[in-house]
């Protein structure tokens, strides 16, 4: 499975906590918790974009050790977003 591109809406949903993703890789879970706290404290578009970049880069860098389940969770939501976007 592929990791959605950083321009996908999934990343904004993840970093703002609107999409819950429990990763089997502990550092990924810790990163997401920290990033969500950051965006809750500072919800500016600049901070959200910075958090998207950091989260995306982490997932790309550590893709070889992510479980297929972790990637599937991201990928499935990305597909749902793409599908629902086409309905409007």
pLDDT means over runs of 10, the chain (88 residues): 84 90 84 96 97 95 84 64 42
In a domain, 39, yes or no: yes
3-state DSSP assignment of residue 83: helix
Report the half-sphere exposure of 22 (CA within 13 A, side-chain side): 0
Give the pLDDT confidence score for residue 88 in this predicted structure.
36
Which pLDDT value is given to residue 77? Answer: 57
Phi and psi angles of residue 2, each rounded to the nearest 5 degrees, phi first: -100, 155
pTM: 0.80
Q: Rounded to whole angstroms, how far apart are CA atoms 31 and 69? A: 17
Give the pLDDT score at 87.
37
Domain that holds residue 14: 9-87
Confidence at residue 35, expressed as pLDDT on a 0 to 100 scale:
97
Tally of domains in the chain? 1
Please check whether residue 65 is in contact with residue 88, taking contact to mean a CB–CB distance below 8 angstroms: no
**Residue 2: inside a domain, yes or no?**
no
């Amino acid at each position: 499975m592929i990791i959605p591109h950083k321009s996908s809406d999934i990343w904004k949903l993840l970093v703002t906590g609107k999409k819950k993703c429990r990763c089997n890789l502990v550092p990924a879970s810790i990163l997401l918790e920290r990033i969500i706290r950051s965006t809750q404290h500072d919800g500016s578009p600049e901070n959200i974009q910075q958090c998207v970049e950091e989260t995306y880069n982490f997932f790309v860098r550590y893709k070889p050790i992510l479980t297929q389940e972790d990637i599937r969770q991201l990928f499935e939501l990305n597909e749902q977003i793409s599908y629902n976007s086409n309905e409007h």
